[in-house]
Amino acid sequence: MKKCIFLVANKKSETQCANLIYSIRQSGCTLPINLIHFGGEEITSQYIQNEVTFMYESDFPDEAINFIDRVQEVITSCPRGFLYRFLALFSDYDEVLYSDNDIVAMCNWESLFEYLEDNDLVHADLEYTTKGKYNYYKPEVVKKIFGEKSLESAITAGHILFKRDQKIIDDIYKALEWFKSNYGIPKRHDQSLLHVASLLGNWKIRNLCKTDNWLSSWAGHFQNNLDIILKIQAGQRISHLHYSGGTPSNTAPIDDLLLSNLNKKSRVKVLVSAGLKDLTGISTLASYHKKGKNKLKAILKNLNDSAE
């Protein structure tokens, strides 16, 4: 079985991507890494160039391009580059691990593929505890359609293992049609699409946090590095840390793991810059500005959805 890690990145995400790759390799993982160009300015990091095989949308067959075109018509809340994670379904690899850039590997990811043997998809997160609020405008309607426990199979699409299977592709196409027939129920992003596809296709999914008692993979659930270390010492496993939900300030105690690949001088520069932004209030203003822009975009998209 050919196994691979797929990433999607560009110059904007280069810093986090470099740290991600560093953490993957430091964990002992030797799997090949394919990096698909997100779009925009390209990565120039020599470290990243030495560790990955760069790929572009044009490197994939026409079937893959048509698939992304179809998905983009419906999943309007995602830039096209976000949808490139699905290109791995059209690669030459049998089993794939996809990861966002704002992630730090906390174990050798090669071991995660063992859980994929009897499943269609494997992940490790607490998305199932959110009651569908990040995937659906009307999560209660989803429960009525798919069953009382349907929201408990929710997936965080930022870190997933899956088999390259035509069934998954077919089920995603079915999910696109479901989205068209049920406007106003799902949010139009890739994570909700993946969940609906899994429900329609009755996928066999294993969530290591839910069934195997692995630690949460969201950085926001931990106070600092010591918190994680003590929990691991107590016998719990952890796959990765995902810094989703905003842009890390680099000043929070748990943010230190995002700087793991830096030498002392580079790390101090980042910390000084981040500290000054926090102390002067610049980072707070930037955060409010970003939240305001995102809120406005969400309102406009809701209006567009309603109009359709």
Continuous H helices in the chain: 14-26, 46-51, 62-74, 139-146, 166-181, 190-201, 208-211, 225-233, 264-280, 282-307
Please name the helix (run of DSSP H) or strand (run of DSSP E) that holds residue 9, with its range, or none.
strand 3-9
Residue 290 is predicted with a pLDDT of 59
- Burial state string for 203-234 with b = 16 or more CB within 10 A and e = fewer than 16: bebbbbbbeeebbbbbbeebeeeeebeeeeee
pTM over 0.85: yes
Tens of pLDDT, residues 217-236: 999 999 999 999 999 999 99
User: Is the pLDDT score of 53 beyond 90?
Assistant: yes
For residues 298 and 191, which has the higher predicted lDDT (pLDDT)?
191
CA distances from 210 to 123, 125, 132, 178, 275 (A): 10, 8, 16, 27, 37
Contact by Cβ (8 Å): 51, 20:
no
Q: What's the chain's Rg over C-alpha atoms?
A: 19
Residue 283 is predicted with a pLDDT of 62
Mean pLDDT of the chain: 93
Least confident of 31-45, 255-269, 270-284: 270-284
Residue 105 is predicted with a pLDDT of 98
User: Is the pLDDT score of 20 beyond 80?
Assistant: yes
Q: Residue 48 is encoded by which pair of tokens? A: 């990243």
Residue closest to 259 by CA, chosen among 16, 47, 21, 8: 16
